[in-house]
Chains A and B, each alone.
Chain A
Amino acid sequence: MAEQISTPNLAQLPPEMLDFTLLKTTGALAPRLGRLSIPGRKTILTPVFLGNSSRGTIPHISQDNFRKSIGLNGLYMALEDFVEKHPQKTPPIFQLDAPDPLRQFNSIPNETLVVLGARRQPPIYSPIANTNTEVGLLTSVGYKSISSDYYAAAARKLHPDIVIGLADIPFGQESVGLKRKDKMSDRTEVWTRDIIAKRDGIDKGEPRYNIFAPILPIDRDLQSWYLEHLVDDMISKISGVAIYDAYLLDDLPEELHHLPRLSFHAPASPQEILRQVSLGMDIFTIPFVSDATDAGIALDFTFPAPTTTTSPTRQTLGVDMWQESHAISVTPLSASCTCYACTKHHRAYIQHLLAAKEMLGWVLIQIHNHAVLDAFFVGIRTSIANGTFDRDVAAFEAFYEPTLPEKTGRGPRVRGYQFQAEEHGKPEKKNPKAWKKDIEEKKLKGEKVKLMAAHGQQPNRKKEVQDVIDDEALIGLVDLQGVDVVELENIKIEDDKS
């Protein structure tokens, strides 16, 4: 890739100061190229995406694999992942006596840029309503609320590189009344002023963090006071903005245009990422990557799209690795991918791992999916640099299906705090005993029950029951109680030659 990173003159900046340079822009609502640098961290070229962490790590990725197999320079972390002991006890991470507790506690490499927000991405609806002084969170042990003071103190103790200011957003609420919207704006302004004051109050010599101010997902008039004050009083104190509704980028005051923009408007597809990029978005967390991984879907798209014109149908954006058709495929997840999973393993193994419910299946798909996204963003940057972005987007939309494939397989067990508000019932686990009935019925009908040799059987011959075995089988979940033993002895042997 013809990407050049010329290092800005960091020596002249205070130690933690963020530098964002726009390398290319073509107007207000247009894609842009930028370079974000913080001393001590790897320089990040935008548009880019951050790893979306859960409890200190990208789901399924242990910290050594993060270093070896995930090429990301930035990580998003949520305070709600660390404060379940609050308020009864001081959460452990705050007791860690280290110069850099957030990194140290979670074993994050020094060169990785860390962004801290209050909520996971996407946030799960918390029934604890925000108040004038507190926001509701969902921790792994339940709903909590924290004050703006607490948040600032946490940021000071943990010193991430970037802190997203608290926003008063009633997540999960279908419609929000006008009065409530006024309140959103008022509270968010108070909290933004508050964290700026707290950050500026940090003693000289103690590390400081950079603040991204939230831009609310409401019309400009409804947050006009807040936006005006951002521009008038706070502009020199903030280093970026966090955008909750990408389609309101039009409303962003011009005075804030030079700041990096982090999207908290979760895109559902690569096309939606492209749309946000085309409006001038710079930084993303992309929850659909892990969602696809959990569903066993290996992402399979490149930007710009391949230029083959032969196929009359649109290509799928991902490969459902649950499908048995992969069972003897020794091809990689994606032919052009150079990730660890694609260079070392093949589809047959990954399909097996999913079917066998082995955790490694999700590890490999997650590594691959991050590599696909990483390459996607490299492609976006090159395309903007070449001035072909709009054309490339049109070609991408024509080449690929508009949405990710439907999920068919069962994902790994989902913990309560990972549930998403919109997540409906998962496919039900088939009753493992169902096949016993089959056999009983066959016997009643006088049908012959064949005896198969233990070798030579086809893989996954019956989808409904393949779920029965997983590694729990080792501890005896596969029970055959209630099946008549005597029957077994009178069955003729017939090798399965198929």
Chain B
Amino acid sequence: MAPVPMPSALSFELLGKCSVTKARAANLQLPHGPVPLPIFMPVATQASLKGLTPEQLEETSCRLCLNNTYHLGLKPGQATLDAIGGAHKFQSWPHNILTDSGGFQMVSLLKLAKVTEEGVRFLSPHDGSPMLLTPEHSISLQNSIGSDIIMQLDDVIATTSPDLARMTEAMERSIRWLDRCIKAHKYPERQNLFCIIQGGLDLDLRRQCTAEMVARDTPGIAIGGLSGGEEKTSYCKVVDTCTGLLPENKPRYVMGVGYPEDLVVSVALGADMFDCVWPTRTARFGNAITARGVLNLRNAVYAEDFGPIEDGCQCTCCRSQEAGGLGITRAYIYHVTAKETAGAHLLTMHNVHYQLNLMKRAREAILEDRYPAFLKEFFATLHGDKKKYPEWAVTALKGVGVDLMVD
């Protein structure tokens, strides 16, 4: 199938590159405004981010968030989205939205989903009726959602699957489905379709897939099928291999990645965009993300800790009242978490701010060409003792020229 050149609804401006690692800083201009790269995108699964109003989300500095096509397809459903005029209007979010294809959700949530060349067959969790999600349906739904970045339907299988034949089939099918998605996409001039590189942990498959997908010239490129429980070392190899083959002038999105360590390492490996439900989901259980690690504020040791969630944090919760913030303390989060929903709202604001701010600091470091020093400081703050540094991160960063063990 001959690749058809695609119109693009984004512009990508590379602003700086780390002189040691593969890290990049860029501006991504999307239909609903500019987005700085690298970036973390919080996940508003059902068109809402864990109780935050769009204003509150905006205040964390978020300008690009995720909605899940699978969930919006079920609720409110395509008819409603069409009637209302898309997800931006539906949730009153004036900034950018990225939607997944729905395929991953189906395969991970619905154990009985079955993939054929046609699409993904599954039973509706609504009423148990059998359903079929094809590449065309997925794009049609995402066209109705009106998201600024839409994702192709891909054939996702666990990276840990030992079945090389099935892995190859999934990779090849994902390419065929990309062609069907490109063909079905009604609004390429206002929605950016990203391809998704598959191929499991097999680097040859990944290379083949990358070559095929790059040839299709989508506005952006995602590396998919990761964060499924594979070893971190294998994960890093896949990201490193793919980014090495990608054109410099397009955004690179690694799907489903969100732990702070994963973010800073993946940036060093040349990735730009990340999403993960973890920072917001974990807030509900009282977990606060900080530079020194995750704190479970439901632990009684925090009951009398009247410091902010994280010292120096500039989020709405942590900033002092004198500085226009709320001056929320760890003790208050302890007091309210799991008892009033407002506790989850507060911690969600902090966690999203932490993730976005981490990427902002990384970007500044890249622009000032001190990303290696940033990485060293990040790991030193997080772990203190070098002996506690995770081996996968040390290895991966050594591969791009940064030795964490040397100050």
Contacts and interface: CB of A to CB of B under 8 A. Distances in A.
A22 interface: no
Interface in A10-67: 54-57, 59-65
A352 B75 contact: yes
Contacts of B124: 452, 457
B158 interface: no
A479 interface: yes
Contact of B111 (A345, A451, A479): A479
A191 B301 CA distance: 35
Contacts of A479: 111
A55 B132 contact: no
Nearest to A482: B112
A348 B127 contact: no
Interface in B303-326: 303-304, 306, 316, 321, 326
Interface residues of A, number: 83
Nearest to A103: B321
Given A60-B342, A62-B342, A107-B321, A356 B126 contact: no
Contact of B90 (A352, A451, A493): A352
Interface in A103-160: 104-107, 140
Contacts of B54: 344
A21 B131 CA distance: 68
B51 A359 contact: yes
B92 A344 contact: yes
Interface stretch (A193-201, A227-235, A266-274, A435-443): A435-443
Contacts of A468: 125-126
Nearest to B347: A62
A348 B111 contact: no
Contacts of B83: 328, 348
A455 interface: yes
B205 interface: no
Contact of A469 (B55, B71, B111): B71
A455 B121 contact: no
B395 interface: no
B346 A488 contact: no
A348 B131 contact: no
A481 to B, nearest CB: 7
B131 A459 contact: no
Given A328-B83, A345-B92, A360-B52, A64 B45 contact: no
A386 interface: no
Interface string B79-120: 110011000011110000000001000000111101000000
Contacts of A478: 109-110, 125
Contacts of A95: 304, 306
A363 interface: yes
B146 interface: no
A64 B128 contact: no
Interface string A448-477: 011111111111111001101101011010
A362 B76 contact: no
B279 to A, nearest CB: 14
Contacts of B227: none
Contact of A57 (B77, B144, B336): B336
B131 A451 contact: yes
B370 interface: no
A478 B122 CA distance: 12
Contacts, number: 243
Contact of B123 (A54, A92, A97, A480): A480
Contact of B326 (A64, A359, A465): A64
A105 B332 contact: yes
A363 to B, nearest CB: 6
A485 B112 contact: yes
Contacts of A349: 47, 90-92
B53 A435 contact: no
A105 B71 contact: no
Contacts of B329: 105
Interface in A336-351: 340, 344-346, 348-349
Contact of B129 (A107, A449, A489): A449
A459 B89 CA distance: 17
Contacts of B55: 68, 340, 344
A353 interface: yes
B129 A450 contact: yes
Contact of A435 (B52, B128, B140, B321): B128
Given A96-B331, A489-B114, A63 B123 contact: no
Contact of A55 (B56, B281, B335, B349): B335
Contact of B73 (A96, A345, A435, A454): A454
Q: Which of A64, A468, A471 has the most CB of B within 10 A?
A: A64
B322 to A, nearest CB: 11
Contacts of B332: 56, 105-107
B340 A454 contact: no
Nearest to B113: A480
Contacts of B344: 359
Task: Indicate the member of B45, B128, B346, B349 with the most A CB atoms within 10 Å.
Answer: B128
Contact of B335 (A56, A340, A356): A56
Of the listed residues A97, A364, A457, the one surrounded by the most CB atoms of chain B closer than 10 A to its CB is: A457
Contacts of B132: 451-454, 493
Nearest to B49: A360
A92 B126 contact: no
A85 interface: yes
A323 to B, nearest CB: 14
Contacts of B51: 60, 358-360, 363
A56 B101 CA distance: 41
A289 interface: no
A354 to B, nearest CB: 11
Contact of A457 (B77, B306, B345): B77
Contacts of A340: 53, 55
A355 interface: yes
Contacts of B49: 360
A491 interface: yes
Nearest to A470: B46
Nearest to B46: A356
Among B111, B127, B132, B342, find the residue whose CB has the most chain A CB atoms closer than 10 A: B342
A471 B46 contact: yes
Contacts of A415: 339
B321 A85 contact: no
Interface string A64-84: 110010000000000000100
A238 interface: no
B80 A459 contact: yes
A202 interface: no
Nearest to B50: A359
A495 to B, nearest CB: 9
A327 interface: yes
Given A55-B339, A105-B329, A483 B78 contact: no
A249 B124 CA distance: 59
B133 interface: yes
Nearest to A492: B130
Contacts of A473: 71, 109, 125
20 contacts: A55-B335, A56-B336, A60-B341, A62-B345, A96-B306, A327-B80, A328-B79, A330-B89, A358-B48, A361-B48, A362-B341, A412-B341, A451-B129, A451-B131, A454-B134, A454-B137, A456-B78, A480-B111, A480-B112, A480-B123
Which 3 residue pairs are nearest across A and B when measured between Cβ atoms? A359-B51, A459-B77, A454-B133
Given A62-B349, A454-B137, 20 more contacts: A105-B335, A107-B326, A344-B53, A348-B76, A352-B80, A353-B48, A359-B344, A359-B345, A360-B53, A436-B128, A451-B132, A452-B131, A457-B73, A457-B131, A459-B80, A460-B75, A469-B71, A473-B125, A480-B110, A488-B123
